[in-house]
Amino acid sequence: MFLESKNNKKLGKGWIEVVCGSMFSGKTEELIRRLRRAQIAKMNVEIFKPAVDVRYDEDDIVSHNENAIRSTPVESSQQILLMANDVEVVGIDEVQFFDSEIVNVCNTLANNGIRVIVAGLDMDYSGKPFGVMPQLMAVAEYVTKVHAICIDCGDLAQFTHRKIDDDSLVLLGETESYEPLCRKCYFGKTK
């Protein structure tokens, strides 16, 4: 079954794009850039984020550079399927915070001719793959890994180092709680 456009024509071929990396690497900035380009092209775009992410705004997706785009906060991935009607592009930020069903949701959307763009952390603070990200990266047609700058040495950073003592997997925070580090500096601090 394919989603139909207003003119009752099948939408184009769908696919999944994943933008991943550490904190402060520009994932959300890249997501916003891609979604804005789709809007400029006058495509029907729906944007979602997990309801738990209220760091900058309850509704908008906001990058660390304070670029923002309107989104709809959702409690579960299944809500995305219910709300993604008559769209050509779906954007999802902080995808690592969603339940495991998000992989099926993204596949369903892509199989129905929708371009799906997701952004999220590929590793948690302990350097392990984060949530559903490995599965999403495996099924995606396109994976873009972006890097931050190591706060200690200036090299490319791909690790998110938690600066405070808290073992929770999910701990929303910014520069007070996290810093980007390269491999050498990360493993030097976490020994």
Q: For the beta carbon of residue 178, count every other beta carbon within 10 angstroms.
A: 20
Tokens of 10: 């099948």
Token pair of 187, please? Answer: 């493993």
Cα dihedral value 118, 119, 122, 123, nearest 10:
-130
Selected catalytic residue, list 94, 101, 174, 179: 94
3-state secondary structure of 10: strand
Provide the 8-state DSSP code for 25. Answer: S
What order of strands is seen across the sheet that includes strand 89-92? Answer: 72-74, 45-50, 89-92, 115-121, 15-21, 142-146
94 belongs to the catalytic site: yes
Structure tokens at 146: 């972006």
DSSP 8-class letter at 104: H
Which are the catalytic amino acids?
94
